[in-house]
Structure 1
Amino acid sequence: KNKYALQLDLVKDLEEAEARLAEVEQKLDPVGDYVEASMIAAASAQFHNVVAQLRILNPNVEFVEDGLDEDKE
């Protein structure tokens, strides 16, 4: 096969794998609670990482971050 045909086959395989994965994810987490909770946890960890970096880069500055990473409705 030529290179273009191989690439098309790879794209087709990836699309099929993605569809199967989406079906499994839908069965395991039909409402999407796990995905949402994971995203919130990741964002919170990133926030705390940035605050730590800012403190290292600015040792003489007092940061007030009370309530900044709390869930807002």
Structure 2
Amino acid sequence: MKISFDDYKNKYALQKKLITDLETTEAKLADVVKEREALLVRVKELKEKISRLEEKLKYAEVTLIGDEEKKAGPAGVYTECSRAELITKVFEVKGSMLEAASSQFHNAVAQLRILNSELIVEGLDEDKEVRDGRIVTPQNLELFILLGFSLF
């Protein structure tokens, strides 16, 4: 009978420990469930905030592009162009401006030769300038040449 009582006592202690552990686990589970519900509410709020911000961003992009387009081309010529197309257009315009300047320079030299047949054109260059009565390469151009940059 003593063995049965000791066995019962051990089982009772084990059952009491299991009940305590179960109560602790249930309390932790209740806390986790509350935290989960709070986090789900927070996630829903953040998703709504993201949606509102995305709408604002769309409006801001449209407004920004609209203002810049109005400055660049009031007639809306560039509204359908991509960035790459605009960059290509800038390089085309830059190239045509250089061609026009070079052509005008050579035209002026040709006219001076007609007006003054003994004109010495040795050392004459559209990229050079007159300093102290001499034709010299501009300082910024010398720097570009020394650094190995090309103008074209």
TM-score when normalising by structure 2 = 0.29
Instruction: State how far apart, in whole Å, the 2-side matches of 1:29 and 1:41 are.
Output: 21
Structure 2, unaligned runs of 5 or more: 1-72, 128-140, 145-152
Aligned length: 54
Displacement of 1:63 in angstroms is 1.6
Identity %: 36
Tell me the equivalent position of 1:20.
76
4+ aligned runs moved over 6 Å, structure 1: none
The structure in which a higher percent of residues are helix is 2
Instruction: State how far apart, in whole Å, the 1-side matches of 2:76 and 2:107 are.
Output: 35
Instruction: Map 1:1-73 to 2 at 5 A.
Output: 19-21=75-77, 23=78, 27=82, 29-31=85-87, 32-66=90-124, 68-69=125-126, 72=141, 73=144
Tell me the equivalent position of 1:11.
none
In angstroms, what is the RMSD of aligned CA positions?
2.9
The change in CA–CA distance for 1:53 and 1:63 in structure 2 (over 3 A counts) is: same
Instruction: State how far apart, in whole Å, the 2-side matches of 1:29 and 1:49 are.
Output: 32
| Higher Rg of the two aligned structures | 2
Check whether the contact 2:112–2:119 (CA below 8 A) recurs between aligned residues.
Answer: no
The residue type equivalent to 1:69 in the other structure is: E
Instruction: State how far apart, in whole Å, the 1-side matches of 2:100 and 2:85 are.
Output: 18
The change in CA–CA distance for 1:47 and 1:65 in structure 2 (over 3 A counts) is: farther
Structure 1, unaligned runs of 5 or more: 1-16
Higher relative contact order (CA 8 A, sep 6+): 1
